[in-house]
Amino acid sequence: MTDRILEFLRNRREDGPCLVLDLDVVRENYVSFASAMPDTRVYYAVKANPDPRVLELLAKLGSCFDTASVVEVEAALASGATADRISFGNTIKKERDIKRAYELGVRLFAVDCEAEVEKIARAAPGSKVFCRLLCDGKGAEWPLSRKFGCDVDLAPRVLEHAHRLGLVAYGLSFHVGSQQRNPAMWDGALKAASAIFNDLGERGIALQMVNLGGGFPTRYLKEVPAVRAYAQSIMQSLRKHFGNHIPETIIEPGRGMVGNAGVIEAEVVLISRKSDDDVVKWVYLDIGKFNGLAETMDEMIRYPIRTSFDGDETEPCVLAGPSCDSVDVLYEKDPYHLPVSLEIGAKVLIEGTGAYTTTYSSVGFNGFPPLKSYVI
Ligand SMILES: *Cc1c(COP(=O)(O)O)cnc(C)c1O
């Protein structure tokens, strides 16, 4: 929460929930990453918040970009970044999208199987590829499941195939799970990566790069370690597993770059109880799962919520969104404590909402417009 955001909200006259994002905080976050990891290139994960002003600021600061689609490649180019600063990091791409990215100048692609390597060899000949390893996401509040990456036994074959087809077998990547609160979680993946570097090295393929992915957390209700702690832990693991041959490294922060730069202002629409002896109150906001707070799915991300009644006695509340869909409940299994004095019509501030909110908002479910966003 910054004074600039509070000042902006004091002067705002429009109705409806909105996100306000403070670019000064994004700048500070970029500088933290760049200074904590001076030998690592930063590829901002565009999907976390693709607002053009965020991308322009980061391009100016020297950031590179991790993109997931042609539209994101174009957004990164429009921000002023040259194509050599863009990685097409989605492992699931249509061949014609690979071709389009190649025509736009992109030469760095993620893969996790031989079929994807073949698409890239045809549509983006001679490009660099890195193979994504499966990571179990332990310790992460938003784990990434088995959807991306391949087993460590398969990765050498995928990269060897790339090499044979005239691509540059460039390196490995992994993602330890989003909102990863344990800096030691990079160690296992780096150990596996170094074994693959050795294995392929013996077969004449010299990998050069390890993509350390995202996962750097933002502060929600619980304290999180500082970027420096992640940098130290990662550096230690790199030394332990790669010795004097530390490869080129990149990171792809999304949440950690923009999460704490944004605050959503919302309004209490209704407060009620389901029966006279109900122990929890129901508090309905004008924002829910369909217009910005999708990451409350399974109650995984718990946002800090500020009200003007803070300091008063609190009571457990079920917190829900405004739409006519029964899944539009934010916190119920683990009720949210809110002030007893909270009133219908009161404004609430939902902190840490700069990442994964605006673009996760539906185009108009129930007639509720997409989340408004102001970048200041
Ligand atoms: C989403 C994503 C990121 C960003 O993850 P955060 O946890 O938000 O930092 C980085 N890399 C890839 C490949 C991704 O898909």
pLDDT tens digits for range 264-298: 999 999 999 999 999 999 999 999 999 999 999 99
Q: Indicate the average pLDDT of the chain.
A: 96
Whether ligand 1 lies within 6 angstroms of the CB of 352 is answered as: no
Count structural domains, the chain: 2
Whether ligand 1 lies within 6 angstroms of the CB of 354 is answered as: no
CA distances from 181 to 124, 227, 279 (A): 37, 11, 33
Task: Inform me whether the pLDDT recorded for 137 exceeds 80.
Answer: no
196 and 307 both lie in a single domain:
no
Q: Which domain, by its residues, includes 341? A: 260-375
312 and 273 both lie in a single domain:
yes
Pocket test for ligand 1, best of 47, 64, 86 (most atoms within 8 A of CB): 47
Indicate if 324 belongs to the active site.
Answer: yes
85 and 234 both lie in a single domain:
yes
Task: Inform me whether the pLDDT recorded for 138 exceeds 80.
Answer: no
Q: How far is CA 41 from the centre of its chain?
A: 17
Nearest-atom number in ligand 1 for the CA of 215 is 7
Pocket test for ligand 1, best of 130, 252, 356 (most atoms within 8 A of CB): 252
Among 37-46, 117-126, 144-153, 203-212, the minimum mean pLDDT is found in 144-153
Annotated active-site residue in 113, 131, 317, 324 = 324
* pLDDT for the residue 339: 98
* pLDDT for the residue 139: 73
pLDDT per position as a tens digit, 223-247: 999 999 999 999 999 999 999 999 9
288 and 247 both lie in a single domain:
no
As a whole number of Å, the CA-based R_g of the chain is 22
Whether ligand 1 lies within 6 angstroms of the CB of 29 is answered as: no
* pLDDT for the residue 67: 98
80 and 213 both lie in a single domain:
yes
pLDDT per position as a tens digit, 308-365: 999 999 999 999 999 999 999 999 999 999 999 999 999 999 999 999 999 999 999 9
Contact 373, 51 (CB under 8 A): yes
- Listed residues 253, 287, 309: the one ending a domain: 253
Whether ligand 1 lies within 6 angstroms of the CB of 97 is answered as: no
